[in-house]
Amino acid sequence: MFINTLDVKNFRIFKKKEFNFSNDINILYGLNGQGKTSVIEAVYYLSLTRSFKAGAKDQAVLRKENKYFEIKGSYQNKNKTRLFFSLDKGKHIFVNDIKIKKFSDYIGQFPIVVLTLENQELIYGYPKLRRNFLDILNSQISPKYITNLQRYKNIIISKNKLLSEIEPDIELLKSYNDLIVQYGNEIILQRIELVNFFNTHLKSNFNAISGKNENPNIKYKIKNSNLDFDNNPDIIQILHTLQEKYFTKEIQYHKCLYGPHLDDVVFYLDDIPIKNYSSQGENKSYLIALKNIEREFILLKKKQNPIFLLDDVFGELDTDRTENLLYLIKDKGQTFITTTNSTLIETSYLRKNNCIHLDQKTI
């Protein structure tokens, strides 16, 4: 999969700008504040109808004093997409001028992977970041996953609203609990399948980046459960056990205390949680490995390489890791690299690719 052209209006610092891309490597270079990240953010928007920046709402990407933004893209399969957002009409997506009624029917058509400096929080930050990591990837390859996740989230909202009442309807509460088991089971099973895929490929990818010989692995943790379910887990039984254990406490605390919306993922290196002791280099190697495996997973499931976005990551890598990363992305589909480091372009390999210089004249 690759995007040929991009046309943005009132997006971030751009009033109106068009870009033409290569189907191999595209390097966006220039000083900070010239719109390099905004370009790949727009590409990401066209794939997933949202920003990759944490907490960035649609209003946040509007150019100053404007009430709408628009992003258009043309892809290798001749599909033309248009994403439109305005303060009064909301957000809409079109493919070949046909409006898409449900975003869940659209996500996954143009698969994408992004690696940014913000991803460092994936290992050190809150569990929500790691859940989102799994959910976004699964959503790109499985429409069923998106549907289950949306229904599950609505159930949790309804259940918490019910639990906020002084005397909640017990029978209605039990019906919500049954639905949590039903949809929670499907969500967790697909998450665990994804975690197992990562574990199969993690060691080779991590060591290829770090140049070391270590043993990384990932474990999925169900909230408030200490059961070992790495192999053939009975998720339904686990959720039923949690349901019984926390039934009274949920009424007491007025909120749901179990379910995949509270679960977590732990990253290990040689059987020790990496967030407890890892160096910056190990953290970066881990992230690059995760993102490369993410790309491999999409290729396996979708039979096409996703668009790969690398936002200003080379400035944070030493020479060896930079060379190892460049080797991994070579001939692996369309890639976008943003950088302030012009010397990166001077390498014999990257010099042959599409280089786009951004400065005040291009805005």
Residue 285's pLDDT is: 87
DSSP one-letter code for 24: S
Cβ pair 129, 290 in contact under 8 A: no
**Burial group, residue 304, by CB count within 10 angstroms (0-12, 13-18, 19+):** middle
Rounded Cα distance between 181 and 90, Å, is 34
Of 356, 304, 268, 320, give the one whose Cα is nearest residue 113: 304
Question: What's the Cα-to-Cα distance from 157 to each of 137, 154, 228, 251, rounded to whole Å?
Answer: 23, 5, 29, 15
Task: List CB contacts of 50: < 8 A, sequence separation 6 or more.
Answer: 44, 56, 58
The whole-number mean pLDDT for each consecutive block of 10 residues of the chain, a chain of 363 residues, reads: 95 95 90 93 96 89 93 91 96 96 93 89 91 96 96 98 95 97 96 95 92 91 74 83 95 96 94 83 88 95 94 79 78 88 68 79 63
Burial of 57 (0-12, 13-18, 19+ CB in 10 A): exposed
Q: Are 81 and 110 in contact (CB under 8 A)?
A: yes
333 Ramachandran zone, left/alpha/beta (phi>0; psi -120 to 50): left
What are all long-range contacts of 207-215, with beta carbons under 8 Å and residues at least 24 apart?
208/289, 208/324, 208/328, 209/284, 209/285, 209/288, 209/289, 209/321, 209/324, 209/325, 209/328, 210/281, 210/282, 210/285, 210/321, 211/320, 211/321, 211/324, 214/269, 214/270, 215/269, 215/270, 215/271
Q: Which two tokens mark 123? A: 């290992």
The CB density around residue 54, as the number of other CB atoms within 10 Å, is: 13
Q: Which residues contact 22 (CB under 8 A, 6 or more apart)?
A: 334, 353, 354
Tokens standing for 345? 């372009």
The reply to whether 117-284+295-301 shares the fold of 1-111+304-363 is no
pLDDT of residue 200: 96
Looking at residue 71, its pLDDT comes to: 98
Cα dihedral angle (181, 184, 185, 188), rounded to 10 degrees?
-150
pLDDT at res. 73: 97
Strand (E) or helix (H) holding 18: strand 14-20
117-284+295-301 placed in CATH 3.40.50.620: no
Distance from C-alpha of 153 to C-alpha of 337, rounded to nearest angstrom: 35
Contacts of 201 (CB under 8 A, 6+ apart): 293, 296
Per-position b or e across 95-105, b if 16+ CB within 10 A of its CB: beeeebeeebe
CA distance 180 to 183: 5
β-pairing, 354-357 vs 98-99, is: unpaired
The pLDDT assigned to 127 comes to 94
Sorted by where each begins, the domain ranges of the chain are 1-111+304-363, 117-284+295-301
The span from the CA of 154 to the CA of 325, in Å, is 40
- What would the CATH number be for the domain defined by 1-111+304-363? 3.40.50.300
Q: What is the pLDDT of residue 359?
A: 82
Q: Say what the pLDDT of residue 234 is.
A: 87
pLDDT in the model for residue 119? 84
